[in-house]
Amino acid sequence: METRSLGKWFEVTIPESWNEVTIEEVFRSKWKVPKKLTHSFRTEKKALINGNPANWNANLSSGTKLQLLLFEEVPFEIEPSYLDVPVLYEDDHLIVFNKPPFISTHPNEPDETGTLANAAAYYLLSKGEIRNIRHIHRLDRDTSGAIIFSKHSLAGSLMDMMLEKREIKRTYLALVQGQLHQKKGIINEPIGRDRHHPVRRRVSATGQDAITHYQVLKSYSSKKFTAIKCWLDTGRTHQIRVHLSHIGHPLVGDILYGGLPLFDRQALHAAKLEFIHPLTLEKIVCHAPFLDNPPIFSGISLEEI
């Protein structure tokens, strides 16, 4: 896809695959943008063809230029606050941060600060970008690693759809207790709330479907630990932690699910993110370097993930 940014506008050169397709069909069928957001683009005249007001029901021709108003200032819905967080990838539409442990992804109370979302807003503000930045997915407070934020509503909508369709691959690194006898495995067990605990989840026949894949990377026989990588077909709260505890191999440091308190957090790191950029169609791959000092995942290279 040939694209470029022009001030507040994002320009797409209409590809052959969009020939004789209308803008309405691009938003509804190609991108599957929610009706409310599509309506705002249409009524507020945020779409142009070759610099002129667009006819949303006219067929597009390959090679023509579609301009979309994406980069206007939008007041922050969250208070910016400083926190030094590494950036793994950034363009005009998305940012991937390497989240440190011990901070929440977003505020749980209106006046809460010190979260990754507050830091993301501050980061944009420091660059002079006033955008309604928003997280696409979450990581537990004590889990570190790669996490995606959108800079504008269209990118957020497209990434939400990709997440729902499982088109964003997230690979985690975990250190679990014991030696796994199978080098690869799939844990397919539904997860629900634990009615005896306000935070904890558990495997439950009445819970939501949850599927976790894992592969052994390294065994530490002397320490009785195993380093594994995991990837998910679903995104349930605490999914990896619950599933691995359920099969008798809780995460080291995960006291909530039976792990030994050898670290000050559960040994879980979102090490890799892969997706096709929804607006440029580029293949994006992000590796998140380890942040713990001293390190938790000794002897593991990101190239193995």
Residue pointed to by tokens 């830091």:
119
| Residue whose C-alpha is closest to residue 99's, from 153, 137, 152, 156 | 137
The letter for the amino acid at 61 is S
pLDDT in tens, the chain (305 residues): 899 999 999 999 999 999 999 999 999 999 999 999 999 999 999 999 999 999 999 999 999 999 999 999 999 989 999 999 999 999 999 999 999 999 999 998 888 999 999 999 999 999 999 998 999 999 999 999 999 999 999 999 999 999 999 999 999 999 999 999 899 999 999 999 999 999 999 999 999 999 999 999 998 877 799 999 999 999 899 999 999 999 999 999 999 999 999 999 999 999 999 999 999 999 999 999 999 988 898 788 887 78
Look up tokens 């370097």; give the residue: 289
Tell me if residue 140 is catalytic: yes
Domain topology for 171-269: Pseudouridine synthase (3.30.2350)
Q: What are phi and psi of 250, to 5 degrees?
A: -65, 155
pLDDT in tens, 210-237: 999 999 999 887 779 999 999 999 989 9
Residue 301 neighbours by CB under 8 Å, 6+ apart: none
User: Is 297 within 8 Å of 287 (Cβ atoms)?
Assistant: no
Burial class (CB in 10 A: 0-12, 13-18, 19+), 145: buried
Q: How far apart are CA 71 and CA 301, in angstroms?
A: 38
Tens digit of each residue's pLDDT (9 = 90 or more) over 234-258: 989 999 999 999 999 999 999 999 9
Q: Taking the alpha carbons of 40, 45, 46, 49 in that order, is the dihedral positive or negative?
A: positive
Q: DSSP letters along 216-239, please?
A: EEEEETTTTEEEEEEEESS--TTH
Q: What is the pLDDT of residue 248?
A: 96
Q: Can you give the pLDDT at residue 304?
A: 76
For the segment(s) 3-69, the CATH number from 3.40.50.2300, 3.40.309.10, 1.10.3720.10, 3.10.290.10 is 3.10.290.10
Q: Which listed residue (140, 194, 254, 292) is catalytic?
A: 140
> Would you kindly state where each structural domain of the chain is located, as residue ranges?
3-69, 171-269
Between CA 21 and CA 56 the distance in angstroms is 10
What pLDDT does residue 32 have? 95
Alpha-carbon distance of 115 to 127, in angstroms, equals 19
8 Å CB contact between 26 and 18: yes
Position 66 scores a pLDDT of 97
What pLDDT is recorded for position 303? 79
Residue 125: CB partners within 8 Å, gap ≥ 6?
76, 80
